Structure formats: structure tokens, C-alpha cells
Structure 1
Amino acid sequence: MEDKNFRGHAAMLGACITFGLLAPVSKSLFGTGLVSAYALTMMRMGGGTVVFWIASLFTRREHVPPRDLLLFFFASLLGIVLNQGTYVLGVSKTSPIDASVVTTTTPIFVMIIAALYLREPITGKKILGVVVGAAGALLLILSGAHLVSSRTGSGSVSGDLLCLFAQLSFATYFVVFKKLISRYSPVTLMKWMFLYATACCLPFGYSDLKAVGWAELGWADYAQIAYVVLGATFLAYLLMPIGQKNLRPTVASSYNYVQPLVATLVAVSLGMDTFGWLKGVAVLLVFAGVYIVTISKSRAQLEAEAGRGSASR
């Protein structure tokens, strides 16, 4: 059990570290004027499909019944199509700061949906962990806002709402399809989900993908595209199901707070920001929030404790 928990925590940490760079890298590509939001979304989906199907040639083949293939389609709509499509479009309309702020809502959405759908209890410890983690993430983001606002531009209501919808969509996928995710390997799961996602988005994104000024892109732009496809798509979506399979939804989603932490550390390393005591406090709050949610009790644990209490009486 401890090994599974460790794998789950390590996988979610790895996935969120790679996700943490997605907003600034995407914004940098949009700044070239050669890659649109729809084009980048198609690169992620098409590239993810190709890489996951190639990876499936080197893994054990799993039989997927027709019913689960249908479930993969709906999981793809929530976890990839609506999530990736609206998030990348939202980032193109708002600032990376606003986009990072909005990502902190995912654990809150997950906690509420898990309570309604899985009947996971909303305990005081969970609420405390989510609030502490969100406070740390927001402190990180807002403490550096004045340094990057002039470079990245201001946010917009429409962009922020698109990013918010992306988090709600992903939170719903995170909770509702937990059992489906647990039945298959990450490669089997994602090769079908990305195939469906590509088929859904191709009619809307093909013209933008065709219009990309490939010859005008520099090597740094291609490196960023490679990161988006191989890092923030293939690697992140390979690791994420491992975390979902081994951790409760609220615990797994609390790692979302790592994303703004990664963005801040990268900004500091590139000389775009400084690391003072305020950011030190924010980092401690982020990790404290994740830890508090991690040690909160599940429904099964609370029911077991209630059963022991009844037996003792």
C-alpha cells in the first residue's frame, strides 16, 4: 500500500511539474504570431496520439470492450478536448498570471464533485489543506505579478472564464472516471483518449494548423513545441493516471498547487523574478496544504473508525 501511495505521489508531482511550464511556454509561442491557440491544441492532441500509439507497440496489449471504448470517448471530451482546448484558448486571451491563479480552483472543484459523486466526506482537514495550499499558490503568483505584467499583458474576463471552465471540466473527469482509469494502463487509456480528442478537434483546428508559419519558426520555437507535445502532453498524461489510480481524487488534485511554484522557480532561475522571504512563506504554504490534504481521512477510513466505535460500545 505504501509503495502504491509513493508511486501515486511521485507521478502526480512529476505531472504537475511538467504542467507548470505549459502556460509560459504557450504564451511565448503565441507571441511569435505564427502559432494560434487552435494550432497548438492540435499539435498537442495529434502529437499525443502519435506518441501514445507508438508507445503502445512496446507495451502489453489490453483488450478493451466496446462499452469502455465508449466511456473513453466521454472521458476524452472532459479530460482532453474541453480541458486542453478551452485552457489553451484562455491562455491566448489572458495573462499567464491569471491562468495560473485559475488553476488553483481545481482541487476545490474536485473536493466538491467527489463529495457529490463519490460521497467522499468534506472534512475540516481537507478544507484546511485546500485553503492553505491555495493561499500559498496565490501568494506566489501575486507576489510576482508586478514584475511580469508589463511583459505578458493583462488578463481578460473571457480568457479567465475559459481557463476556469477548463479546470471544472478536468475536475469532473478526475472524479467521474476514476474507476475506468484504474482498469487500464496509462498507455492504453491515453492512446484511445487522444485518438478521440484528435478526431473531435480536427475539423476546428485543421485550418489553423495548416496556417502555421513553419519555415519562419526558429529552433527555440521548435524546442518549445517539442516540450508542449512530449513534456506537457505525453509525459504528463502518462504519469497522471498513475496518480489517479493510487490516490484519492482530492489528494491527487492538491498537487495542482505545484504548478505556480514551478513557474515561479523558473522565473527566478531566468532572472525574471527574485526569491525573497515572501515567496519562501508561499512555498511552505503550498507544501503544507498538500501534506494536510494527504493525511486527511477517506470515507472508508471514517466508516471503519465508526464501525470500531460501535463495536466497542
Structure 2
Amino acid sequence: MKNSLRVHAALLIVAVIYAANYSLSKDVMPHYMGPFGIVTLRILGAALFFALVSRLVAPQDRLTGRADNIRAILCGIIGIGGNQLLFFSGLNFTSPINASLLQTIAPIVVVIASAVLLGEKITLLRVLGIILGGIGAATVILSRQAGSIVYPNATLGNIFILLNATAFGVYLVLVTPLMRKYHPFTVLARIFLVGAVVAVPFGWRGVLSADYGSFPLYIWAEIVYMVVCLTILAYLLNNWALKYASPALLGVYIYLQPILAVLIAVALGKDHFTGARALQAALIFGGVFLVSRKPKEAAVAPDDAIPLEPVQD
């Protein structure tokens, strides 16, 4: 399999994993375990896994220099601890489809963060895309469904999901240089360790107070899915892909997540799709499409191309 095909295959698997989580997590929260407890289990499990594997596959690889270590700490705080606490808190309050639509905003955040942190040019077309995507996100957050009986706190949940998407977009920009310089397991071990320091103070009570004896088999299976697939496998594949492709390519696959999430949520009876949501999706997708288009002069520049081969340092 060519390297470009492996990258696309990895990103497709990640999209499916994330899409299924929107519905599966609703089985666990909040009856069996609260969102902070789930986040703590996920991050601790992943931190132990990546710490062990990094010692086995890249024992001599170390993050060096003050700048790289500060960047790794920021990635752990923003992309692991803060990102996951916001996501599960938001998903606990809002519907699977709303959450998946708002997550699609992440590529817009990538462009804004790239402009602020990397000095990337923002064109008029991208400004229009940011406005269009923002309108779409606002209609989701302020929709009448936010006050429904099923999700009475959906507005708060939608805001948390929007903040989560923002954190994830900033994380993609911050982590890319590290993934291209060091072994992925080295980076993941460090940032998940930082993420654990952030998450444990919020979630340790939820982990200890859960009535594990009352968990049916399917709840155990979904918790294992969230720890192994959603955390370890998804982060591994996502960050491996960053070694070969720019954050913009990952952003393209975010389009696929809400489509898959809608299909899964409707199939499992967790949510329903309406005409209003279709319009909201069109606004957000349109905004992301405009933002993802590079200026003509930049499209031919070698430094801005999306590499599908390893970057040589």
C-alpha cells in the first residue's frame, strides 16, 4: 500500500471511531459514570500504554530543548486534558448530532491558530468561511432544541463542544512540529502524562465512586472501546498521520465524522436528523470548505503543499 493510501486509511478509521463514540458514550453517561470519571480512565489508561510502549520502541528518543518541552506541556493541557474534559462534559449535556456538527468547526480554528501562531495568511475567502462557519455553529448552539426536555442543558453542552473543537484545532497546530521531529510514541507519552495531571483532580472521585458491580457487559465493552479505540488507537493513528500530512488534510476528514455520527445515532435510536440540522450542517461545511482553500499563490509553494511522505529534518 502506498504511503498516501495508508494515511487516508488511518484518517478514515479515526473518523469512524470518533463518529461511533457520540452515541456509545451516551449509554455510559451519566447513569453509570460521569464525564470526568470517563476522561480520567481514558487518559490514565493511555498514559500508561504510551509510557510503556515509548520505552520499548524508542528508548533513546527524548524531547530536547526548552521550546519543545513547553510545546509538549501546552499540547497536554490543551489537546489532552482540557480537550477531553470539555468534550465529555459537552456530550453529557447535548445530543450526539449537535456535538458532531460543532466538532466540524475544528478546521476553521486550525486556520485561525495557524495565522496567529505561524503567521499564515488569511484571505478574504477564508474570512468569509470563518463567518459562514460561525453562523452555522451559532444556529446549532442557539437552536430551540437546546431547551428540549431530552437535553435541557444543551446550550451549555453545545458551548463546551465548541470550546472542545477550538482546543483540538489549536492542538493540531501545536503538536505537528513535535510529531515531525520526534517518534510519535515519545510525544504521546509526554502529552498524555501532562493530560493525566490535568484530568485526575477533576475525575478521581467519579472513578472511585462508580458502582462497577452494576455495569452490564455492554457498558464494560463501551468503556473499553473509549479507552482502547477512542483514546489510544485514535490518537496514535491521528498523530502518525500528522507525520506525513498537514493539519489541513486531517481537517478534511472532519467532514466525514458528522455524516457517520448521524447515521450511527439514527440507526441506534439515539437522535434524529431534521431539515434544520441539514441547514446548519450546510453552513458549517460551507465555511470549512472556504477556509480550507489555500490562496492560489500559496497552492504552488512547496512549503505549503500537503506532504504525504516523511518530512526529513
Conserved in 1, the CA contact under 8 Å of 2:109 and 2:169?
A: yes
For residue 300 of structure 1, report the CA deviation from its aligned partner.
Answer: 5.2
Q: CA–CA distance in 1 between the matches of 2:154 and 2:89?
A: 12
Q: Which residue of 2 aligns with 1:23?
A: 22
Q: Which moved more, 1:68-77 or 1:81-90?
A: 68-77
Q: CA–CA distance in 2 between the matches of 1:7 and 1:296?
A: 24
Q: Which residue of 1 aligns with 2:10?
A: 11
Q: Which residue of 2 aligns with 1:310?
A: none
Q: CA–CA distance in 1 between the matches of 2:299 and 2:165?
A: 28
Say which SS state the counterpart of residue 255 (structure 2) adopts.
Answer: helix
Q: How many residues are treated as equivalent by the alignment?
A: 298
Letter in 2 for 1:111: V
Q: CA–CA distance in 1 between the matches of 2:269 and 2:32?
A: 26
Structure 1 gap segments, 5+ residues each: 306-313
Q: TM-score, normalised by structure 1?
A: 0.77
Q: Which residue of 2 aligns with 1:108?
A: 108
Say which SS state the counterpart of residue 235 (structure 1) adopts.
Answer: helix
CA offsets 1:235-284 (integer angstroms, 9 cap, x no match): 11001112223222233223222221121222354466899999999999
Percentage of pairs with the same residue: 28
Say which SS state the counterpart of residue 243 (structure 2) adopts.
Answer: helix
Q: CA–CA distance in 1 between the matches of 2:186 and 2:9?
A: 21
Conserved in 1, the CA contact under 8 Å of 2:110 and 2:247?
A: yes
Flag the 1:225–1:151 CA change in 2: closer, same or farther, 3 A. farther
CA offsets 1:119-152 (integer angstroms, 9 cap, x no match): 33445776798899999999xxx9xx99xx9895
Q: CA–CA distance in 2 between the matches of 1:85 and 1:282?
A: 25
Q: Which moved more, 1:200-209 or 1:231-240?
A: 200-209
Flag the 1:258–1:282 CA change in 2: closer, same or farther, 3 A. farther
For residue 232 of structure 1, report the CA deviation from its aligned partner.
Answer: 0.8
Is 1:252–2:250 an aligned residue pair? yes
Q: CA–CA distance in 2 between the matches of 1:224 and 1:45?
A: 15
Conserved in 1, the CA contact under 8 Å of 2:96 and 2:265?
A: no
Q: CA–CA distance in 2 between the matches of 1:81 and 1:75?
A: 9
Conserved in 1, the CA contact under 8 Å of 2:103 and 2:165?
A: yes
Q: CA–CA distance in 2 between the matches of 1:124 and 1:272?
A: 39
Conserved in 1, the CA contact under 8 Å of 2:32 and 2:211?
A: yes
Matches within 5 A, 1:134-145: none
Q: CA–CA distance in 2 between the matches of 1:296 and 1:214?
A: 50
Conserved in 1, the CA contact under 8 Å of 2:71 and 2:174?
A: no
Q: CA–CA distance in 2 between the matches of 1:172 and 1:303?
A: 24
Letter in 2 for 1:236: A
Q: Which residue of 2 aligns with 1:88?
A: 88
Q: TM-score, normalised by structure 2?
A: 0.77
Conserved in 2, the CA contact under 8 Å of 1:62 and 1:184?
A: no
Q: CA–CA distance in 2 between the matches of 1:155 and 1:258?
A: 27
Conserved in 1, the CA contact under 8 Å of 2:86 and 2:161?
A: yes
Conserved in 2, the CA contact under 8 Å of 1:182 and 1:245?
A: yes
For residue 41 of structure 1, report the CA deviation from its aligned partner.
Answer: 0.6
For residue 186 of structure 1, report the CA deviation from its aligned partner.
Answer: 2.1
Q: CA–CA distance in 1 between the matches of 2:202 and 2:254?
A: 29
Q: CA–CA distance in 2 between the matches of 1:158 and 1:272?
A: 19
RMSD value, Cα? 4.0
